[in-house]
Amino acid sequence: MKLPRDLSGAELVRHLCRHHGYREINQEGSHVILQTNEPQSHRLAVPNHAALRIGTLNAILRSVAVAKGVGKEDVLREL
């Protein structure tokens, strides 16, 4: 599955909060800090940029997939 090229940081934050149980806990500069406690505690920073770089998006999706115990494609599916 190809990664979206025009996904903004705000859209990714909304998606992770709505579909994967993350919540916004803080913002430091241009990075939004998200956290979840299910199935384990996991915290990550998402840059609040107009369009995320492919490598950054890939790293965030991989981190979420490992924390949730699902595949990266499953995280992408609802986008």
From the first residue on, what is the mean pLDDT of each consecutive set of 10 residues in the chain (79 residues)? 89 93 93 93 94 94 93 85
Q: Where are the domains of the chain?
A: 9-76
CA torsion through residues 33, 37, 70, 66, sign: positive
pLDDT of residue 32: 97
Helix axes 54-68, 9-20, angle to 10 degrees: 10
User: What is the CATH number assigned to the segment(s) 9-76?
Assistant: 3.30.920
Looking at this protein, which amino acid is placed at residue 7?
L
Tokens 């806990």 sit on residue: 25
pLDDT of residue 46: 96
From residue 50, alpha-carbon distances to 19, 22, 59 in Å are 21, 21, 17
Q: Please tell me whether residue 47 adopts helix, strand or coil conformation.
A: strand
